[in-house]
Amino acid sequence: MHTDVLVYGLLLWTLVASRHGRAYDDMGFVRTNMTHFLVNRRPFSLNGFNAYWLMYVASFPEEGRSMVSSTFQEASTHGLTLARTWAFRDGGYRPLQRSPGVYDEDMFQGLDYVISEANKYGIYLVLSLANNFESFGGRTQYIQWARDEGRNLSSDDDFYRDEVVKRFYKNHVTAILTRVNTITGVAYKDEAAIFAWELLNEPRCETDLSGRTLQAWIEEMAAHVKSIDSNHLLEVGLEGFYGETIPEKKKMNLGYELGTDFISNNLVQGIDFATIHAYPDTWMPGSTEQTQMAFLQSWIQSHVEDADAVLRKPLLISEFGKSSRLSNCRGDEEAALFTTVYDAIYASARGGGPCRGGIFWHLLSGAQEMEGLRDGYEVVFSESPSLGQIISNQSHRISNLNGGSETKKQLRPALQSGN
């Protein structure tokens, strides 16, 4: 009798828990130890996807939410364990932050849903907190808000300097980190499915190529994030271009000078790991496929060495991809790019090196409603089975490195014995 009640109770609890996205017991908080990520005290590497649109789509309760769920489902089927997405829509059409400090509850509940689904499917999230660029508001919107309050600002780079803008940004960080999820009841800052916060998508400050402006901003904002949430990892959102700390490395930059410094920016206290992006096709227009692939390999290698020898922090390749709109025979070349990135990650991680995962740009659901989000870089699993196989293979060997830890997908022992 007691046993029956207990078993029934466990079963009921598990059902409720799984409804609330708590079915996977193993999503421990991610930590770092030198150049490794750790989950449950074991080294951990990942395979991931970008899907910047998740919150927006999840803000449409019925069809939207089912699209988000089926995307997590497909990602999970391909062994993917990490998604990077936007925790911002500042001003404009269907905003999250309508005006400074004023939030749209429907949109926030969309983000709540994304987080609860991520938890349910055992997929970690990197949540980016604002955009360098104008899409979905970005620095431009923050500048406009400050102008509306009478600030005399001349450039979007005042985002990094103006006290009012910095206050707006910090308030947004606070609003996100302290949000209590309406589905799970867990505050975002306590949510284990969140892998890391990202300060800004692809920060650039071209009006100060010394790098000092951006460096000071990263220091100030990293301290702000950590003052609210010291549990989660934090990264900057960098593409990886070099600055003055190691001037000879600037020859890797392809001529780009963006006011960033991969070395000093990532050495900031509170920045837990480094990121790079890799878009050889858009970064090297007009060059041959061969030249682009050679660049890709040395770009990754160079940052792997820095993460290992200088930063002593892990590295994620947090965006890479190839556009079908810039190349004629897309399939083969896209496969070659993914394979090159994946091989580099696997070689580093297997050898105890710092490069612990890749996050391709970007996964789309094949649904009709998503047509408008196609940008040439989209990966739709139902349309690209061979790329899907390459992605699954990478997930599989990364999982083996983690100790074959399909553990995340194991149900709680309680449920197994209850059965």
Q: Residue 378 Cβ, how far from ligand NAG at the closest point, in Å?
A: 19
380: nearest Cα among 362, 360, 364, 361: 364
Annotated catalytic residue, options 235, 319, 333, 378: 319
**Min separation Cβ 365 and ligand NAG, Å:** 22
Cβ atoms of residues 230 and 121 within 8 Å: no
State the minimum distance, in angstroms, from the CB of residue 16 to ligand NAG. 33
Nearest distance, CB of residue 387 and ligand NAG, angstroms: 8
- Of the candidates 117, 202, 239, 333, the residue annotated as catalytic is 202
Contact 350, 394 (CB under 8 A): no
Residue 155 CB, nearest approach to ligand NAG (Å) = 10
Nearer to ligand NAG, 2 or 41 (CB): 41
Q: Which is nearer to ligand NAG, 335 or 411 (CB)?
A: 335
**Which residues are CB-neighbours of 342 under 8 A, at least 6 positions away?**
358, 390, 393, 394
The separation between CA 308 and the C-alpha centre of its own chain, rounded to angstroms, equals: 21
| C-beta of 384 vs 393, nearer to ligand NAG | 393
Report CA-CA distances (Å) from 262 to 131, 211, 249: 18, 10, 10
Which of residues 152 and 417 has its CB atom nearest to ligand NAG in the complex? 152
Tokens for 159, please give them: 């985002």
Report how far Cα 323 is from the mean position of its chain's Cα atoms. Answer: 20
User: Is there a contact between 237 and 203 (Cβ–Cβ < 8 Å)?
Assistant: yes
Catalytic (active site) residue 319: yes
Handedness of CA 291, 295, 297, 298 (dihedral sign): positive
Question: What count of residues does the chain have?
Answer: 419
What is the C-alpha separation between 274 and 315, in angstroms, rounded? Answer: 5
Give the sheet arrangement for strand 42-44, strand by strand: 30-33, 36-39, 42-44
Q: Is the CB of residue 181 less than 8 Å from the CB of residue 218?
A: no
Binding site for ligand NAG (CB under 6 A): 33-34, 38, 41, 152, 154, 389-390, 393
Q: Write down the least CB distance from residue 320 to ligand NAG, Å.
A: 17
Measured from the CB atom, the residue of 38 and 401 that comes closer to ligand NAG is 38
Is 235 marked active-site? no
Q: Which is nearer to ligand NAG, 227 or 389 (CB)?
A: 389
**What are the residue numbers of the active site?**
202, 319
